[in-house]
Structure 1
Amino acid sequence: MATTNVLTHQMLARESAKMFLEEAPFIANINKGRQEEFGAITQGFKKGDTVRIKIPPVPTVYNGAVFAEGGTPDDFGEREVNLTVDTQKHTGIQFGAAQKKLDLSEFKERYLRPAIQTLSSVVEADLLQRAYAGVPSLVGTPGSVPTQMKTYGQARSKLQHYLAPASDRSVVFSSDANLELVDSSKALFHAKKEIDRGFLRGSIGEAQGADFYEHQSCPIHTNGSKVAGVTVSGASQSGTSLVVGGLTAADTITKGSVFTIAGVYATHPLTGLPYAHLQQFVVTENFTASGTTGTISIYPALKAAMPNKTVSALPANSAALTFVGSASTAYRQNLMFHRDAFTTAMVPLDVLPGCEGYTARLPNGFSVRVMTGGDFTNDKEATRIDVLYGFAVVRGIHASRITE
């Protein structure tokens, strides 16, 4: 046992931050650069700080030499989403003076790694739960674990349709989905490193233009009690609210539920030309009916004109909504996404007066605080490891769910 180097908070904080990202593939592969924008607003980082993220609109292209074809150019504004730092989570380690003199590598494996694994699992589960509920695109068969690479190719097609950049794409998928895919795809991988990843480490590596990561915290979505017989109530509705009928009091439609509307097709983001498939929508707030009609919140917005056109036509009165899956049934959600579909800000926390500690901030924007308070009587130290973060779905159409 090495006893010459006493562990410091700086050492522990830096190791914690690096270890956290090793254990958190979702966080590691989404945008983490937003904490700088908080610094421009306030003199510190406190729960409740909010930054507005602007999403550039799609301009209209006109014909001929005459400006705007003789008319007035579109006055379009940038869409905004809010990112609020509102969540703090921590784990604790209690150890004595003897443990503090352990070699760093030994301390990491015996004390630090179990704590970080637990903390990262909880944070990842929280962020994935928020992420999937803002994604309207969904492929796969509810109730069936995907067994073919084609299903992930369909998810890739969704990202292609909405012009997600080809680089920086990732997939987080469950162990069950990984098992099926590794087995069905084993003949496709011939390079030694891919064979090693598939058979020795349970990962198949890169496919369909994305890096695949096995994950134990893929979220579960449960449909509400009402998924059949729902119709549009009122023609030509637009925006992010939709009045629907066919309800009875106490019917529920849950946040994250996906549906299509008869006759409402998806469109190319730049040209506005319709695709051959119906536009998928996701419910963005939990809904409970109080009568035969009610208003649900949806994404993307219903918009049938350029710029930022999303649908081929606004829905007709009484058009049927078709939900994915059965009523009151739970389905695991795997996720393919581009890096900038989601963003998180993990901002530094100050060490409290009277405590010893250090806040590590990695170059990629990730921060972890390690802080200790002493117990003089029992010769013990209670050390907590904290992260403070916010999360936002920036472009939900640049991701796709793969249901099980």
Structure 2
Amino acid sequence: MANTILTHQMIAREAAKMLEEEAPFIANINKGRQDEFGKDTQGYTKGDTVKIKIPTAGRVFSGAKFAEGNSASAVIEESVNLTLDTQKHVALQFGAKEKLLDLTDFKDRILRPQMQTLSSVVEADLISKGVVSVPNQVAMNLAGSNPSNALALARAKLNQYLAPAGERSAILSSTANVALSGEVSRMYNPTRVSEKAYLQGYVASAFGADLYEHQSIAVFNNGTAVAITVTGANQTGKSLVVTATTAGTLTKGTVFNIAGVNAVHPLTGQDLGVLQDFVVVEDATVGAGTAISIFPALNATAPNKTTSTLPANGAAIAVKSVNGFQNLEFHKDAFTAAFAPLPVLASCEGYTARLPSGISVRVMTFGDGNEDIERTRIDVLYGFQTVRPLHACRITQA
């Protein structure tokens, strides 16, 4: 039977499917916002932005009198921006004879290695952006008798902040997966195999989450500031003024606790009796009286109460984050990504494939007739944003 010449459509569709199959983090986060971006005559544009609204909790009043005789609470709605700001591609060069390959041969010999590289780089980029935005953190003892306890603790953190049950995933380093292997095999739920087996790295389902062994787990390193305390009592909002006895840096993604400041129930505001985890959202150099950006915001009153009390002047700040791998458990809607369908440029041949899941990949070719070769690029244009940081939890390992 004669060979069929491979088309850009065939290659693009296979490339898009491979990107999803090789990228379990991308496959398990929200990707439903592409249609919210405006289109111009050339399709999607790098830099396009949409605003994502995040509903927040209100305040419940007692009695028959409206708002207990006071004014109703103002409606406070948080928002974050999702911007198409990252474009990555792989570059291929092949001649007419490669285009005559059987599709299966082309996939295995040429396309899959390139898409594995592209998906690994994109996954690593998105995971690293996601991890440093998450304040919740638990620890896994790799050498202990019960490393799976960390999965239970991460599940409890997500439950604490009312993350919906279902559509939860955890990406784990190979060393964490080895430590868990004996226990997870006993908890394994075989009914999920057919649903998740196509995704690279799928291991099992346990503690309400699908577990994936992943080779692009983010690595985090703390800064150099030492002996940090709060400077000024009763501070509120997303900024906190602090002083370090030994001046130094606080890196973006640093998780810390403030003495005496506990977590609260997201709706009732009840003190949960455990310290609230905060995360530094921008790199800072800390000396005397330095303002740092944090999440969640400090607010000890309803609505949108986040802490049991406000920090006292001189309250000690304890850095909780540790250097090394940052495994991650998350609900699907904790993060969102948008993959925009790039247009094929004038004078080029190509095709942009878009999967129902929201992933888009462009394959575009321009030729060199003198050398009888074609140069082909496979591109993705995407944006990423953390929408609900409290619906995820970092799992450190030691």
Q: Percent identity?
A: 55
Change (3 A) 1:95 1:88: same
- Report how far residue 40 of structure 1 moved: 7.3
Aligned partner (choices 378, 388, 402) of residue 395 of structure 2: 402
- Note if contact 1:182-1:203 (Cα within 8 Å) is conserved in structure 2: no
Per the alignment, residue 239 of structure 1 pairs with 237
Q: Secondary structure in 1 aligned to 2:383?
A: strand
- Note if contact 1:303-1:314 (Cα within 8 Å) is conserved in structure 2: yes
Q: Give the aligned residue type for 1:22.
A: E
- Report how far residue 26 of structure 1 moved: 0.3
How far apart, CA to CA, are the structure 2 residues paired with 1:381 and 1:47? 26
Change (3 A) 1:39 1:137: same
Coordinate RMSD, CA, aligned? 2.2
Q: How does 1:74-89 map to 2 (within 5 A)?
A: 74-89=73-88
Q: Secondary structure in 2 aligned to 1:352?
A: coil
- Report how far residue 348 of structure 1 moved: 0.8
Q: Secondary structure in 1 aligned to 2:227?
A: coil
Aligned partner (choices 265, 288, 307) of residue 268 of structure 1: 265
Q: How does 1:148-167 map to 2 (within 5 A)?
A: 148-167=147-166
- Report how far residue 86 of structure 1 moved: 0.5
Which 5+ residue runs of structure 2 have no aligned equivalent? none
- Report how far residue 202 of structure 1 moved: 7.1
How far apart, CA to CA, are the structure 1 residues paired with 2:141 and 2:147? 15
Change (3 A) 1:34 1:212: same
- Note if contact 1:91-1:115 (Cα within 8 Å) is conserved in structure 2: yes
Change (3 A) 1:12 1:41: closer
Per the alignment, residue 256 of structure 2 pairs with 259
How far apart, CA to CA, are the structure 1 residues paired with 2:56 and 2:40? 24
Change (3 A) 1:19 1:319: same
Per the alignment, residue 358 of structure 1 pairs with 351
Aligned partner (choices 286, 302, 307) of residue 306 of structure 1: 302
- Report how far residue 273 of structure 1 moved: 0.4
How far apart, CA to CA, are the structure 1 residues paired with 2:57 and 2:380? 36
Q: Give the aligned residue type for 1:321.
A: I
Q: TM-score, normalised by structure 1?
A: 0.92
Aligned partner (choices 311, 317, 321) of residue 315 of structure 1: 311
Question: Does residue 297 of the first structure (1) align with residue 293 of the second (2)?
Answer: yes
How far apart, CA to CA, are the structure 2 residues paired with 1:361 and 1:188? 36
Structure 1 range deviating more: 239-248 or 97-106: 239-248
Per the alignment, residue 93 of structure 1 pairs with 92
- Cα deviation 1:117-168 (Å, max 9, x = unaligned): 0000000000001000110000005897996211110000000000000011
Which 5+ residue runs of structure 1 have no aligned equivalent? none
Q: Secondary structure in 2 aligned to 1:39?
A: coil
Change (3 A) 1:147 1:81: same
Change (3 A) 1:147 1:62: same
Change (3 A) 1:96 1:42: closer
- Report how far residue 375 of structure 1 moved: 1.3
Aligned partner (choices 356, 366, 370) of residue 377 of structure 1: 370
Aligned residues: 393
Q: Secondary structure in 1 aligned to 2:276?
A: strand
- Cα deviation 1:224-273 (Å, max 9, x = unaligned): 012x4100000000111000013444x10100010000000000001000
How far apart, CA to CA, are the structure 2 residues paired with 1:4 and 1:381? 19
Per the alignment, residue 73 of structure 1 pairs with 72
- Report how far residue 191 of structure 1 moved: 5.4
Q: How does 1:20-39 map to 2 (within 5 A)?
A: 20-39=19-38
Change (3 A) 1:387 1:229: same
Structure 1 range deviating more: 36-45 or 66-75: 36-45
Q: Secondary structure in 2 aligned to 1:378?
A: coil
Question: Does residue 348 of the first structure (1) align with residue 341 of the second (2)?
Answer: yes
Per the alignment, residue 336 of structure 1 pairs with 329
- Cα deviation 1:324-376 (Å, max 9, x = unaligned): 256xxx31100000000000011010101111000001112111000001111
Per the alignment, residue 391 of structure 1 pairs with 384
- Cα deviation 1:283-340 (Å, max 9, x = unaligned): 0000113x422111100101111111100001011000010256xxx31100000000
Change (3 A) 1:308 1:43: farther
How far apart, CA to CA, are the structure 1 residues paired with 2:201 and 2:122? 23
Q: Secondary structure in 2 aligned to 1:112?
A: helix
Change (3 A) 1:140 1:367: same
Q: Give the aligned residue type for 2:364.
A: M
Q: Give the aligned residue type for 1:243.
A: V
How far apart, CA to CA, are the structure 1 residues paired with 2:311 and 2:262? 10
- Cα deviation 1:82-108 (Å, max 9, x = unaligned): 111100000012111111011111100
Per the alignment, residue 127 of structure 1 pairs with 126
Q: TM-score, normalised by structure 2?
A: 0.94
- Report how far residue 392 of structure 1 moved: 0.4
Q: Give the aligned residue type for 2:354.
A: R
Per the alignment, residue 137 of structure 2 pairs with 138
Aligned partner (choices 278, 282, 285) of residue 285 of structure 1: 282
Per the alignment, residue 114 of structure 1 pairs with 113
- Report how far residue 171 of structure 1 moved: 0.4
How far apart, CA to CA, are the structure 2 residues paired with 1:202 and 1:239? 40
Q: Secondary structure in 2 aligned to 1:124?
A: helix
Q: Give the aligned residue type for 2:313.
A: N
Change (3 A) 1:173 1:151: same
- Report how far residue 70 of structure 1 moved: 1.4
Q: Secondary structure in 1 aligned to 2:84?
A: strand
How far apart, CA to CA, are the structure 1 residues paired with 2:205 and 2:142? 26
